[in-house]
């Protein structure tokens, strides 16, 4: 069973600002309340190609996703580690983020891809965000019907969270905009 | 080594590094928005912040799945490794595979 979702969203902010906001999305303490399911974000690795202006980063994202009691019992934990790999090409003005879970892989695989590019209609002012999420529940015949429910919950949670994530992104963009024009919020 | 590992799955494993993490991330965020995206990418910055933070992580990161990324030559996601300048694979999903 695989479910795939794709979403598009336009930020009325330049690519430079939106991608700056993306890095701050989880770490900003002000946003801890909105994105309360995110527990910790650690940078595990980074590499800069100084010739071409490409930046590669690997981060660990720890998510708290408590499920119903029975699921917790089976899964044995309600903490999920995800790994996010990012590539930013400053010259081409492109940012790609791929996130996948590394915990609970026996049960579920979630892959989220996000790409930020300048919007073709207003490349210096707007940014288009394309997001794809795919959720695959591993076949466990005895648990098939429950798996269906988990998948449903998971999908709902993802859709909710990406809406919350956009809210946070918009807020950080506004903040960065104010900061860059020298206004303190 | 992780001395007092409490419950399995405890999420506070890297919290001893919280201050070093914040210092590095602040430095990185500034460098990213003020230099990197403005074309000043030749010089890597925040090096001492990164070294301290990384040393702390390698001491406290208990999760084996995660700690291997510390050692890895970066970029673990094959979809992102593609450096041909093309967009990542599956640029259009739309439905199920």
Among candidate residues A6, A29, A12, the one with its CA nearest the CA of residue B94: A6
Name the residue range of residue A130's domain.
3-180
**How many domains does one find in chain B?**
1
- 8 Å CB contact of B74 and A113: no
In a domain, A17, yes or no: yes
- Provide the token pair at A162: 């990406």
Chain A residues in contact with B28 (beta carbon < 8 A): 23, 43
Query: Could you give the CA distance from residue A82 to residue A110 in angstroms, rounded to a whole number?
Result: 9
In a domain, B6, yes or no: no
pLDDT band at B96 (very low <50, low <70, confident <90, very high): very low
Which residue of chain A comes nearest to B76, CA vs CA?
A85
Query: Could you give the CA distance from residue A150 to residue A148 in angstroms, rounded to a whole number?
Result: 6
CA of A33: how far to CAs of A26, A157, B18, in Å?
10, 16, 18
pLDDT at A14 over 90: yes
pLDDT tens column, B24-36: 999 999 999 999 9
Q: What is the pTM of this model?
A: 0.78
In a domain, B2, yes or no: no
Query: Could you give the CA distance from residue A47 to residue A54 in angstroms, rounded to a whole number?
Result: 8
Pairing of the two strands A2-11 and A38-49: unpaired
Mean pLDDT (whole number) for B65-70 = 77
A and B: number of Cβ contacts within 8 A: 134
Which residue of chain A comes nearest to B95, CA vs CA?
A4
Which is more confident, A5 or A39? Answer: A5
In a domain, A31, yes or no: yes
Q: What angle do CA B80, B84, B89 make, to 5 degrees?
A: 45
Write the CATH number for A75. Answer: 3.30.530.20
pLDDT averaged over chain A?
Answer: 81
In a domain, B77, yes or no: no
Which is more confident, B1 or A89? Answer: A89
Name the residue range of residue B60's domain.
17-71
In a domain, A60, yes or no: yes
In a domain, B41, yes or no: yes
Helical packing angle, B64-71 and B47-60, nearest 10°? 150
In a domain, A185, yes or no: no
pLDDT tens column, A71-116: 555 555 667 788 899 999 999 999 999 988 887 777 778 888 999 9
């Amino acid at each position: 069973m695989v479910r795939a979702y794709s979403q598009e969203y336009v930020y009325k902010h330049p690519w430079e600002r939106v991608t700056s906001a993306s890095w701050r999305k989880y770490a900003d303490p002000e946003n801890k309340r909105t994105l309360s399911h995110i527990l910790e974000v650690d940078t595990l690795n980074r590499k800069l190609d100084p010739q071409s202006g490409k930046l590669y980063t690997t981060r660990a994202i720890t998510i708290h996703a408590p499920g119903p009691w029975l699921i917790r019992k089976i899964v044995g934990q309600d903490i999920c580690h995800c790994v996010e790999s990012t590539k930013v090409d400053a010259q081409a003005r492109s940012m790609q983020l791929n996130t996948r879970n590394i915990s609970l892989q026996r049960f579920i695989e979630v892959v989220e891809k996000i790409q930020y590019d300048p919007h073709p209609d207003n490349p210096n002012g707007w940014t288009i965000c394309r997001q794809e999420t795919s959720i695959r529940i591993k076949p466990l015949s005895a648990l098939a019907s429950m798996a269906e429910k988990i998948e449903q919950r998971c999908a709902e949670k993802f859709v909710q969270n990406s809406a919350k994530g956009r809210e946070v992104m918009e807020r950080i963009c506004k903040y960065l905009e104010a900061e860059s024009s020298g206004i303190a919020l | 080594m992780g001395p007092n590992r409490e419950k399995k799955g405890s999420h506070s494993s890297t919290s001893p590094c919280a201050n070093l993490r914040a210092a590095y991330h602040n430095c990185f965020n500034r460098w990213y928005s003020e230099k990197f995206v403005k074309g000043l990418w030749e010089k890597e910055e925040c090096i001492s912040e990164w070294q301290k933070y990384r040393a702390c992580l390698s001491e406290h990161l208990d999760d084996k799945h995660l700690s291997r990324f510390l050692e890895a030559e970066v970029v673990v996601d094959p979809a992102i490794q593609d450096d041909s300048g093309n967009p990542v694979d599956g640029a259009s999903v739309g439905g199920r595979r």
